[in-house]
Amino acid sequence: MKKSSSRFRIAADIGGTFTDVAAFDERSGRLLLGKTLTTPSRLVDGINTGVAKAGSRMVEAELFLHGSTIAINTMLERTGARVALVTTQGFRDIYEIGRVNRPDAFNLRHRKHEPLVERALRFEVRERLMYDGSVLEPLDLDSLNDVADRIERENVEAIAILFLHAYRNPAHEVAARKILQKRFPGHFITISSELSLEYREFERTSTVVANAYVGPRVHRYLEEIDSQTRRDGFAGKFMVVQSTGGLYSLSEAKQECVRMMESGPAAGVIGTQAMCAIMGLKNAIAFDMGGTTAKAGVVRDGMALTTGSAMIGHYFVGLPLLTPMIDIHEVGTGGGSIARIAPSGGLRVGPQSAGAAPGPACYALGGTEPTVTDANLVLGRLAEDRFLGGEMRLDRAAAEAAIRSRIAEPLGLSVVEAAAGILRIASAAMSHAVKGVTTDRGLDPGEFPTLFAYGGAGPLHASMVARELRIPEVVIPTAPGHFSAFGMLLSDFRRDLVQSRFVRLDEVDLAELQGWFADLEARGTAAVNDAQLDTRRMVLSRSLDMRYVGQEHAVTVEIPIAVFSKQGKAGIKKHFDELHKERYGRGSPEEPAEIVSIRSTVTGVMTKPKLAQIERGSARPVGAASSGTRRVFFPGHGWMKCATWRREALKAGNRIQGPALVEEHASTTVVQPFDTLKVDAFGNLIISIGLASA
């Protein structure tokens, strides 16, 4: 058998509606792409189909990278395992009590978060550590064995262990897990100190319970993919994308599942960060719209912004996770989002989605609810015979019938007016995702003049969202429908480590502080070396969670390593004061500050695919790039004759005046009236928004 001359790095991103595959041939420099409907009943089938459509084979791959929404969807849909929580005596209700703050202060019908573990499955063990990790009461083995007996009668799949102050001393958690593993060898058992070494017992409890809740399903899912790829001849390394956009090993992913909650969306932001570097942009907004949701992240000063915690679900009723991730805000508006009449009589879009099965009405797979995709088809923004490059024909009559019966007739509107209303409401909702990572974080939207739009539905709506937010420029990268999968090819192996340390800045010994960081970085460096990946260099970064003395909450301040040796405490304090002023509108340089936690990130930088430049042309596209014209409805302008273009035939330097449509296999870019599009050297579509006419 002739040996293949290819050496592939394959990335697969499973979304709620589509599964995307990007395969990079490291020898030839070819980038191959595949897209297929997600297969909810057996997700690995979607990966196999996507790999085949990309024209690659697992047997030729040296590295397989994977991101998925399975973990977060399991939490949001409440379809996880039956979990038992084992905790310190007297603290079984901390998970349900949560925080005493009332986030929705004036809502008389406000409901608190709903725990993932019912009270009957929360068990107490006699043990107690002090705040500094010293032992007040040893772990009582008789108490733990009694709890094990009770758990055995409850038919649970997973066990979460959370002991008070284990972030300072994990010994009791480790001992308890060892004993329970002997009793329950087939159960998924997780301890809080392996997931987070930060204080805040409610958040730590929520994090370890979430890990146990999604653990069995994610573990089985990753095992299934690993087994299938091995049967297909894959003999390389299987790595999973974390919520930070970095990679971690399959064995770690199967045990620390919460770290992949936002793996797919994070990869898209990493791709945006890489494109910003190529294009010379410092600041940009990453906007990802798929079939189920729309998500936004931020690249600032060339780096994707991250956070040390997140609320999964909704701020008012969601559950917190204490794990590093790229700061992403998500709304339930995607191409498959269902439009319906609310009880109040108004039009609503999402968060319910038609998903991949049965999908929008126009898919003709049994769906009857009108969706955003149906509205785009009715308004001419999508073509019946060109969806997914013509692989999947859309049913315009079915889309019109769904919108007419469910929306237009009840509201006394025409089908076109109803479809236009669906898109306007969807665009307004998607703008909230962008605001969630800018104004809601104290950032000036004016600092971010460029919106990177990707995902299968992102280019369809990017111009409308940019107008809503008065952003002057939109960039549609090459293969936007596969961009998150492409972003995985740009990911690095990464370790984010954190340890709570309570000390006033003016009292801390800098040498001791440097020693704490060194301990974290030694663990991170060892993890990078153990991964045995093709890393070119190792990069360290440091941050401090800080607050003014007397405050409750802290902010994470990135501190350049040189500051510790050259500027000392004064330099650290200056960085904190400036960030506090930016975030909250004022800083207090005269007030003392304290350190709450230290954070270190160790990154093993991997070799990256190099983007090839496309052929250069004149300002006017060649005739072969034209695919004709069709009528498209634009609110405020009515039906307009629109030129349609084949993206693969466009050349660098080409310019297109709106209204126009640029079509490719997995997406369509809408250039609205008065917008101007130009093609750059790498094939990116750069749209100047005609804001004056908006």
Reported as a single tens digit per residue, the pLDDT across 656-672 is: 998 999 998 878 999 99
Specify which of 32-36, 288-292, 325-329 reaches the highest per-range mean pLDDT. Answer: 325-329
* For range 255-269, the mean pLDDT: 90
Q: Mean of the pLDDT values across residues 317-340?
A: 85
Per-residue buried b or exposed e for 367-379, using 16+ beta carbons within 10 Å of the residue's own CB: bebbbbbbbbbbb
**104 vs 515, higher pLDDT:** 515
User: Which residue pairs, CB below 8 angstroms and at least 24 apart, start in 27-33?
Assistant: 29/609, 29/610, 29/612, 31/479, 31/486, 31/609, 32/56, 33/479, 33/482, 33/485, 33/665, 33/666
* Helix (H), strand (E), coil (C) string for 567-591: CHHHHHHHHHHHHHHHHHCCCCCCC
* Residue 218, both tokens: 């994610």
Instruction: Tell me the CB-side half-sphere exposure of residue 433, using CA atoms within 13 A.
Output: 29
Distances (CA, A) of 382 to 362, 373, 615, 666, 671: 11, 8, 27, 11, 13
Which range (208-222, 292-306, 379-393) has the least confidence? Answer: 379-393
pLDDT single digits (tens) 406-425: 999 999 999 999 999 999 99
Least confident interval from 117-131, 152-166, 562-576: 562-576
- Phi, psi angle pair for 504, to nearest 5°: -70, 140
CA distance 337 to 422: 10
One DSSP character per residue, 125-186 reads: ES-EE-TTS-EEE---HHHHHHHHHHHHTTT-SEEEEE-TTTTT--HHHHHHHHHHHHH-TT
Confidence band (pLDDT; 50, 70, 90) for 350?
confident
Distance CA 576, CA 130 (A): 30
Q: Residue 374 pLDDT > 90, yes or no?
A: yes
pLDDT-derived band at 356 (thresholds 50, 70, 90) equals low
pLDDT at 586 over 80: yes
Q: Which domains, from first to last, does the chain contain?
A: 78-219 (3.40.1360), 493-606 (3.30.1490), 623-693 (no CATH)
**683 pLDDT band (50/70/90 cuts)?**
very high
What is the pLDDT of the chain when averaged over all its residues? Answer: 89
Question: Which tens digit of pLDDT belongs to each residue from 553-582?
Answer: 899 999 999 998 888 899 999 999 999 998
318 pLDDT above the threshold of 80: no
